[in-house]
Amino acid sequence: MNQVSDFTAALARALPESAFRLSADDRRPFETDWRGLFNNASAAILLPGSTDETAQMLKLCNEHGIAVVPQGGNTGLVGGAVPIENSGAQAILSLRRMRAIRNVDPLNNTMEIEAGVILQAAQQAAEAADRLLPLSLAAEGSCQVGGTIATNAGGIQVLAYGSMRNLVLGLEVVLPDGQVWNGLRSLRKDNTGIDLKQIFIGSEGILGVITAATLRLVPRPRKSLTALAAISDPHQALALLRATQENFGSELTSCEYFGAAGLELVSRHLPGAVSPFANSHPAFVLLEVSSLDADADLAARIEPVFERLVTDGTLQDVVIAQNETQRQRLWALREALSEGERAAGGAIKHDIAVPIFAIPDVLHSIESGLPEIAPGARPNIFGHLGDGNLHVNIMPPEGRAIDLLLARATEITSFIEGVVVAAGGTFSAEHGIGQLRLKSLKQHRSSLELELMRAIKGVLDPKWMMNPGKVLNQGS
């Protein structure tokens, strides 16, 4: 028997039929990433229903030399959750059957939850206990809690609550050899040696499989106000951010940016999506402020700020949502940006962050330098302005297919990364490295940093069997 058939025979002996899929038809839907960039065959789909089954599977994979690719909701944008080419036999381990919400504790403000729970379901469980799980992103209807931990996801409320790392109090992880580490503590203070959970948060499945987590919850805001401002350049966006931050502090829960190109994509893609403004504008900032006080008059507090900014020419125009339907319509313009871009044929994507003051200069350098490298290419820039994190996505000239740009992708990316790194920024703010950004990591991190990362990987996964070809390569 060969290695794979040996493995699948052992799998069938040890585990129930519901715990794996072997046929090509069953495997196919798991093998392609959300963007459709990567598609490589797997040896099996593993579907553990419990931590014990996950441990059994990892032990079997380890014994048979089968690499393991952990997969959550498969919404990652860097190809981390699907196999790479030419790396021997790889099994995709999907957490989709591990969906238990073990408990929600409104006094301790925590929830213990299995990794396969869809983020939106976790938010709803917190809400049922009158609490907020403050992680929100456009993929929340599909991505899983485990995936958001493994990628240290950010999203639209990082400004007020931090990224996923700030919300994780404890983890349960199955190590590559099948040992289970139970670190499911629900403590806010615990200085007992190296904080091991931090190593797994953001590790993109290369160190082990996260099977459960204890998450921090917060009180639910009782009032919120959402507004969309039209601006003519990024300096004005920063002036608006500064003014609202000075007046609202941590009550400013979202500050998102998008340009006219993004608005047009969304209008084409999303039925009923229209700009609330009579005139066209170069760019927009979507703001949300929230209060724990049910009687707070947020409009009375924000209107004078907007009036001043309109009068001094910082804002071209501004609308405030008057009810929940209007609020959702404004948010839909922001949240459909990735989908709209995908529907229009895709883009060369970048997920940058720079110190906030540097945003106008960085965007100017990118927009003025791009035509030389890719004539006619259209930047679609949007993202989390309040975190200095923007998605600088480059679309082909109008009417042309993305293939035209793919030939220049390396050049475009290295130009954008060069500008960003020179400004003290990062080439990957929230999407991670996956299989897409390995070269960039190697280029922009020091050899000491890479050596330390490889050393940690080598200790936890000495055979380098977890998610091969993602984040780091063994020898280089």
For 151, counting Cβ atoms within 10 Å of its Cβ (0-12 exposed, 13-18 middle, 19+ buried), the class is: buried
Binding mask 352-391 for ligand FAD (x = CB under 6 A): ----------------------------------------
CB of 386 to ligand FAD, least distance (A): 12
Structure tokens that stand for 206 in this block: 């290369």
Contact 85, 67 (CB under 8 A): no
Contact 211, 95 (CB under 8 A): yes
CB of 71 to ligand FAD, least distance (A): 5
Calpha distance 271→376 (Å, rounded)? 28
CB of 296 to ligand FAD, least distance (A): 27
Contact with ligand FAD (CB under 6 A): which of 75, 214, 380, 393? Answer: 75
Interface stretch with ligand FAD, choices 148-156, 300-308, 313-321, 442-450 (CB under 6 A): 148-156
Size of the site for ligand FAD (CB under 6 A): 38
Contact with ligand FAD (CB under 6 A): which of 430, 457, 461, 469? Answer: 430
CB of 433 to ligand FAD, least distance (A): 9
Binding mask 278-317 for ligand FAD (x = CB under 6 A): ----------------------------------------
The residues near 103 (Cβ < 8 Å, ≥ 6 apart) are: 111, 112
Binding mask 201-240 for ligand FAD (x = CB under 6 A): ---xx---xx------------------------------
262 contributes a contact to ligand FAD by CB under 6 A:
no
Is residue 350 helix, strand or coil? coil
CB of 155 to ligand FAD, least distance (A): 4
153 contributes a contact to ligand FAD by CB under 6 A:
yes
The residues near 446 (Cβ < 8 Å, ≥ 6 apart) are: none
CB of 107 to ligand FAD, least distance (A): 28
CB of 232 to ligand FAD, least distance (A): 25
Comparing CB distances to ligand FAD, the nearer of 210 and 352 is 210
338 contributes a contact to ligand FAD by CB under 6 A:
yes
Calpha distance 212→216 (Å, rounded)? 13
H or E element that contains 221: none
Contact 341, 380 (CB under 8 A): yes
Comparing CB distances to ligand FAD, the nearer of 204 and 417 is 204
H or E element that contains 309: helix 298-311
For 414, counting Cβ atoms within 10 Å of its Cβ (0-12 exposed, 13-18 middle, 19+ buried), the class is: middle
> Strand 90-94 to strand 67-71: parallel, antiparallel, or no bridges (unpaired)?
parallel
Amino acid at site 394: I
Name residues contacting ligand FAD, limited to 77-96 (CB under 6 A): 77, 80-81, 95
CB of 221 to ligand FAD, least distance (A): 20
Looking at residue 125, the DSSP 8-state letter turns out to be H
Amino acid at site 92: I
Interface stretch with ligand FAD, choices 3-11, 68-76, 262-270, 302-310 (CB under 6 A): 68-76
Residue nearest to ligand FAD (CB): 147
CB of 192 to ligand FAD, least distance (A): 24
155 contributes a contact to ligand FAD by CB under 6 A:
yes
CB of 41 to ligand FAD, least distance (A): 17
Contact with ligand FAD (CB under 6 A): which of 183, 244, 470, 472? Answer: 470
Question: Which residues face 252 on adjacent strands?
Answer: 289
Cβ neighbours of 282 (radius 10 Å): 14
Calpha distance 159→254 (Å, rounded)? 6
The residues near 452 (Cβ < 8 Å, ≥ 6 apart) are: none
Is residue 36 helix, strand or coil? coil
Looking at residue 352, the DSSP 8-state letter turns out to be E
DSSP letter string over 69-115?
Answer: EEESSS--SSSTTSPPTTSS-EEEEE-TT---EEEEETTTTEEEEET
Binding mask 118-147 for ligand FAD (x = CB under 6 A): -------------------xxx---xx-xx
Give me the residues that bind ligand FAD (CB under 6 A), please.
34, 69-77, 80-81, 95, 115, 137-139, 143-144, 146-148, 150-151, 153-155, 204-205, 209-210, 338-339, 430-431, 434, 467, 470
